Amino acid sequence: MGIRSGRTDSRVSGDDEGGASGNSSHGANHARPDDNHIPAPAPAPAPAEKSQPQESSHKKEKSVLQAKLTKLAIQIGYAGSTIAVLTVIILVTQFCVYTFAIKKLPWRATYINNLVKHLIIGVTVLVVAVPEGLPLAVTLSLAYSVKKMMKDNNLVRHLDACETMGNATAICSDKTGTLTTNRMTVVQSYICEKLCKVTPNYRDIPRDVGDMIVEGMSVNSAFTTRIMRSQDPTQPPMQVGNKTECALLGFVQALGQSYEAVRERNPEESFTRVYTFNSVRKSMSTVIPHKGGYRLYTKGASEIVLKKCAFIYGHEGRLEKFTRDMQERLVRQVIEPMACDGLRTISVAYRDFVPGKAEINQVHIDQEPNWDDEDNIVNNLTCLCVVGIEDPVRPEVPEAIRRCQKAGITVRMVTGDNVNTARSIAIKCGILKPTDDFLILEGKEFNRRIRDANGEVQQHLLDKVWPKLRVLARSSPTDKYTLVKGMIESKAFNKRQVVAVTGDGTNDGPALKKADVGFAMGIAGTDVAKEASDIILTDDNFSSIVKAVMWGRNVYDSIAKFLQFQLTVNVVAVIVAFIGACAIQDSPLKAVQMLWVNLIMDTLASLALATEMPTPDLLLRQPYGRTKPLISRTMMKNILGQAVYQLFIIFMLLFVGDRMLNIPSGRNQQLSTEPTQHFTIIFNTFVMMTLFNEINARKIHGQRNVFQGLFTNPIFYSIWIGTALSQVLIIQFGGMAFSTAGLTLEQWLWCLFFGVGTLVWGQLVTSIPTRKIPKKFSWGRGQPDQEPIQSGPAYDTDLDKKPRAGQILWIRGLTRLQTQVRPCPPRQLADTRAHTRVLTDLPSDLQCADTLGILR
C-alpha cells in the first residue's frame, strides 16, 4: 500500500515561507506605522484550545523517575525502620533477660552504656537502610548529564526534561533548519514561460520583466536580510536574516545584479506601506513610490500568490491574462514537479497604481488608495516569476531518524510547506518510505477529520488520525498544539505517549509548554519560544535531539545502577546487624564501620555510578515507559544473588572464621574490649565485596563484560581506587576510632579473595535466565502518581491529600539539591554558536542564578 495524503486547499502555516517579519523602519510621508510594524493577528485558537491550562509558577508535576523514586524511598524507609526497631528490641530484651532473669544481677549505672550501645546499633541500621543518597544520585546524574549535553548542543533549562527525554515515544519536528540545513538557494525558475533548472542568463530575460524581478526581490524583503562575504574564501557567502529572502537575494546576485544598489535607490524611509508576512497571509507585500504613483510588490507561497494574479508575462515578455486553466496548468506542470523534488516554491508578482492612463494590468488612481483595504490592494496582480528554493536535508538527519525509529521513537514532521514538498523531504529524511501506509495531511484536512460540526476537537476522532500521521503540511501553530495535546491525552494505547516537540516561532509557545519536552531553536528561535521550552538546541539540528534521548536514557540507567548497588548493601548490612543481634547479642559491623559503609554506598557510589557516559546501545531498546518497574527482574536477580553470596561469606566468617583463620574469636566480647582481628576481617571483607560489587553494578541488563567502558569514566575508577586506599588506612591505622585491628598480608589476601569472588559469582548469577523469574519479583511497578508537588517551602493546605512527613523530607531534599546545582555555567553559552539572543530574558521561575545561571 502506498502513502496516503489528504490534500486540501488549506494554506495556513506558522512557518516562514516567502516572507519575513517586515522591515525595520518606514518613511513618514505616506506610512501608516500601525500596519507597518504590527503584523496581522495570527488565527484565533480553535474552541478546544482556547482554555489552555495555565502553568503554575509554584507547582509542577512529578517526573516519572522522581515519582517512582519517591515511592521506593518511602517503602525502603519503612522496611529499614521496622528492622531497626526490631533490632533494638531484640538486643535490649536479650540483655535484660540474660542480666536480670538468668544471672539475677541488680541494676547498675554501667548498664546504661549497654543500652546506649544497643540504641546506637539500631540507629545505625536505620541510617544504613534509609536511602538518603538517592536525591543526591538523582541530582548528580541529572546535573552531570546537563553539563555534558552542552557539548552536544543541548542547553537544558529544566533538569527533569533530561530524564523525561529518555522515555520519549514521539517527536514532532519542524522541517526548516531542523531537518534541513536552512541554507536556501534558488535552483529552478519559471520566467516568461521558460523553466530553467540552472540560473538563467539575465540578458535572455525581457528587460522590463528582469528589472522588476530584481527590484521586487530586493525591496520586498527585510533590509536586515543580506548576503555577506565569508571571511574564509573557501566557504560560501554568509546568509544573514531570513533564509528564504537570502535565497532570493542570492538569485539576484546570480543574475549578475546588485540588490544593494536597488535598495540604495529605494530606501526604507520611502516605503508607503508594508504588509508583513504572517501565518494568515502566507505572503509579504511592499508598496513603493513609482513614477508619480505606486508600485506593489508581493512574494509568497506560489499557490497563495497565484490565486491573486490576473495577469502573467508569457513568451518573450508578452502580457497575458492569467486564466484559471493557465493557473492549473502552471501548478501541474511547474509548481508540483518542483515541490515533488523537495523545493519550496515562491512566486513574485506586482501591481501598479498610476495617476494617468492605465494599462490593462494597472489601476488608475486620482488620490492615494485606501491602503487599509488589503484585500483590494493585494489583488489582480501580475505574476513575474516562480522560483524553486532548495533547502537540503542535513546529511546526518537520515541516520539520526533511523536511530530514533530503531529506539522505538516515532518521528513526525509538522511544517508549513505544501504537501508535495513535505512528502519529498520526509522521504529523503527517512520519516516515510514510498511503500508505507501512513498519512500525510494538510492542516485543513487534519482539522476536518478531528473536529465535530461545532468545530470542537473530539479525542476519539483524533485517536483515529494521529497513530498513522507522519507528516502534517500547511499546518498552523494551533494545529501543532492540537496534535501534541491529543497525543498526550490519548488513551488509544496502554502506554501514554511521551511527546517531544520542536519550535522556533512565538506561536509555538503553547505547543512547547504542552509537550513533555519542548525543544526551542537556539539560532532561529524567538525569545518566547526559548522561554517556553525545556531544552534549547544551540545548533538547530535534529541529530542533537537524538543525543538528548541518549542522555535521558543514560540518566535512568545510571539511577538504576546506583539502586542495584545500594540495595545490595542495604540488604546485607541490615540482615547482618539483625542476625548478629539475635545470635551473638551484638552487631558484627560496628556503628562507625556501618557509617563508613553508608558513605561508600551513598555519597561515593552516587558520584561513581551516576556519571557514566552514554553508549550507542541505549538506542537499541524500546523506551522504558511510565509503568516499567524501577527495579527490573534482572536487577532483582543481581541484588538477591549478590546478597546471598555476601551473607554466606560474612556468616561463615562470623561463626567459623576464627577457627578457619586461626585467630581469636570476636564473639561475646565485652563492651570495653579492644578491637579484634576477627571482626576486623568481617568488616574488611564486607567492604571488599562491596567495592568489587560496585563494578558488577555497572551493568543492569545482564551483560557479562562488567569491565566494558570502565576506563571511559575517570570519576568511577578514581573514586574506586580512593575508597580502596582509604579502607587500607582505616584497617591498619583506624584503631579504636574505627574499631579495627591491623591485619597481616595473609589476612588481606583472604579479604581480597572473597571480594574478587563477587565478580565470579556475578557471572554465575548472570547465567540464570531472567525470563524464568516471576514478574512479581520486580519492584516499583505501576503508574506513578501525577499529583503536583510543591517546590517551595510550604505546601498547599487546601489539598485533600497532604504529604506525610517522610515524603516532605524526601521531596524537599531532592528539590533543595536541584536548586543548588548549576546546570549551565553563567557564561558558557557565549562559547557556542547560538549567540543571537539566546535567553536574554528568563522567566521569573528561572531568575535564581543557583538554578541555571543567568545567561547573558
What positions carry a catalytic annotation?
174
250: its cell numbers: 542570492
Please give the full DSSP string across 69-89, using - where no structure is assigned: HHHHHHHHHHHHHHHHHHHHH
Place of cell 538477591: 640
In Å, what is the CA distance from 39 to each residue of 12, 347, 633? 15, 21, 58
Beta bridge partners of 442: 473
CB neighbour list of residue 312: distance below 8 Å, 6 or more residues apart: 319, 320, 321, 322, 326, 382, 383
% helix, strand, coil for the chain, step of 5 = 50, 15, 40
Torsion of CA 490, 496, 502, 508, to 10 degrees: 40
- Separation CA 747–CA 433 (nearest Å): 66
729: its cell numbers: 588506612
Rounded to the nearest 10 degrees, how much is the dihedral formed by the CA atoms of 539, 543, 544, 546? 170
Question: Do 371 and 287 touch, CB atoms closer than 8 A?
Answer: yes
743 contacts 684 by C-beta, under 8 angstroms = yes
Q: How far is CA 429 from CA 173, 424, 426, 804, in A?
A: 12, 9, 5, 51
Residue 183, burial from CB neighbour count under 10 angstroms (0-12, 13-18, 19+): middle
C-alpha cell at 222: 527585510
For residue 457, give every residue at least 6 positions away whose Cβ sits within 8 Å of its Cβ, in sequence order, or none: 46, 48, 49, 450, 451, 482, 486
| DSSP 8-class letter at 354 | E
The values of phi and psi at residue 253, to 5°, are: -65, -40
E strand intervals along 65-158: 154-156
